[in-house]
Structure 1
């Protein structure tokens, strides 16, 4: 359905593992990179355990689970990404770290039409794009946690991103991965976090001021607004460090 068959995922933490799982379950050949052997083994265990749980819950068959695992390979060498059609960076939300990764990917990914994408939730894509020699092929693909469950993906073109890159990314996200994509401008928070983070911070300030208890704040939004999770629970799930960085 698209020309993208080989995907690289940089980082195998919670988000990287989830993105790799989504791609493998969709039939793509996925190579996952981590910085150390220990981190790689931890990520591989996280990923395989998630596939096992999906099979146990009947979300996928045992055969689909086995096929997804067979499509996954792991490495500590980004040089092995030379043949990737699409690389998705999903490391810590740190601009310097991400910039350095994009500079390396620009050198090692040899396919001339390869897309270099970031799962960043806050860093301007244009800053990552201009760190490469192919800024027209850099785009944001922001998945939500947990990636195998959440249907939404934000696509964030930088000012430099070419229309061909946008079209190919929309095609693989929608037709292959089966996600619902919305397009966001390359601005602080994109769409979802621009709405979500002020809401979470308001809940935190309400609790700090003693206006309401933690339980009442969360119950108020869960029972009064039909939110599946209250803002303080959600902030803890996301991680307060991540909330602060966004």
Structure 2
């Protein structure tokens, strides 16, 4: 099955990266968000990212930046998704927000359309139960920044069919991605480990064991990680980190997933990381 038109819901950091990657690969994209302001910001973000990629030759794509942008349609209307062949949902990691849209898009999108949930923790099976196409719902946990990350964590829900898995793999291959298929348990593989690491690193900071710079330096210089856990948290977004670890805490009822009070405090203070300029580090606008 050749996919030509992909719907992308959510024009935040991940949605922008997914839409950009799809357009770079020559696919047409309908990018949906409830906010016109967020869509305009997304457009500016994608243009800036494409220009930077071309300048640094970090990613390959045919044509010009304008050619890529012409493949992306921006809208606040879910009804625009009536003809999409594949849909990637990227909204905030909150069950109450995610669950509200699945019955709606299930009504609007073609019965043959695959729903790919770009989530780091929420159950694919649970979201699939909100639709009449549970066999065509799958998890695709893209990593940030999407155009630069080569591998995607693909999650099989309880009812996910072999056909859906194959369609998803073919789409990822067209994007130049590799994948690892895992089973549906909250947090999957990556975030059951990563969120614990980040959360414990924040406890280290709260307990004044070391500075953010030194915590990250140990991971980079001793273990060879390209980024430390606090730098990674800033890249993902501290609000997203908190939402994800709260999902894990609720899902497993295990105290090891208790969110660090400092993380909660920083999110309450609006310190989200790179997305708004200040988290464990301070960032200047591009």
**TM-score, structure 1 normalization:** 0.93
Q: 1:10 to 1:35 in 2, by over 3 A?
A: same
Is 1:9 the counterpart of 2:8? The answer is yes
Matched position secondary structure for 1:148? helix
Matched position secondary structure for 1:210? coil
- Tell me, yes or no, if the aligned pair for 2:25 and 2:61 is still in contact at 8 Å: no
Give a deviation string over 1:179-212, Cα, whole Å, max 9, x none.
1111121112111111211111222222222333
Instruction: Flag the structure with more relative contact order, 1 or 2, with Cα contacts below 8 A and sequence separation at least 6.
Output: 1
* Residue aligning to 1:136: 135
- Tell me, yes or no, if the aligned pair for 1:6 and 1:30 is still in contact at 8 Å: yes
Q: How far apart are the structure 1 equivalents of 2:156 and 2:46?
A: 28
Is 1:192 the counterpart of 2:166? The answer is no
* Residue aligning to 1:29: 28
Matched position secondary structure for 1:63? coil
**How many residues get paired?**
243
Is 1:213 the counterpart of 2:211? The answer is yes
* Residue aligning to 1:232: 230
Give a deviation string over 1:129-185, Cα, whole Å, max 9, x none.
0101111111111101110111121111110111111111111112x0111111121
Is 1:89 the counterpart of 2:85? The answer is no
Q: How far apart are the structure 2 equivalents of 1:82 and 1:206?
A: 49
- Tell me, yes or no, if the aligned pair for 1:93 and 1:242 is still in contact at 8 Å: yes
Q: CA deviation at 1:244?
A: 1.8
Q: CA deviation at 1:64?
A: 4.0
Higher deviation after alignment, 48-57 or 12-21: 48-57
Q: How far apart are the structure 2 equivalents of 1:197 and 1:96?
A: 21
Give a deviation string over 1:44-90, Cα, whole Å, max 9, x none.
11112211211222344682433212211111111010100001011
- Tell me, yes or no, if the aligned pair for 1:55 and 1:62 is still in contact at 8 Å: no
Q: 1:164 to 1:61 in 2, by over 3 A?
A: closer
Aligned pairs for 1:58-207 (under 5 A) are 58-59=57-58, 60=60, 63-110=63-110, 112-174=111-173, 176-207=174-205
Q: 1:61 to 1:182 in 2, by over 3 A?
A: closer
Matched position secondary structure for 1:43? helix
Q: How far apart are the structure 1 equivalents of 2:240 and 2:137?
A: 23
Q: 1:145 to 1:104 in 2, by over 3 A?
A: same
Q: How far apart are the structure 2 equivalents of 1:179 and 1:85?
A: 19
- Tell me, yes or no, if the aligned pair for 1:84 and 1:114 is still in contact at 8 Å: yes
Matched position secondary structure for 1:140? strand
Matched position secondary structure for 2:146? coil
Q: 1:73 to 1:142 in 2, by over 3 A?
A: same
Pairwise CA RMSD: 1.5
- Tell me, yes or no, if the aligned pair for 1:116 and 1:137 is still in contact at 8 Å: yes
Give a deviation string over 1:8-33, Cα, whole Å, max 9, x none.
00111110010000111111111111
Higher deviation after alignment, 179-188 or 17-26: 179-188
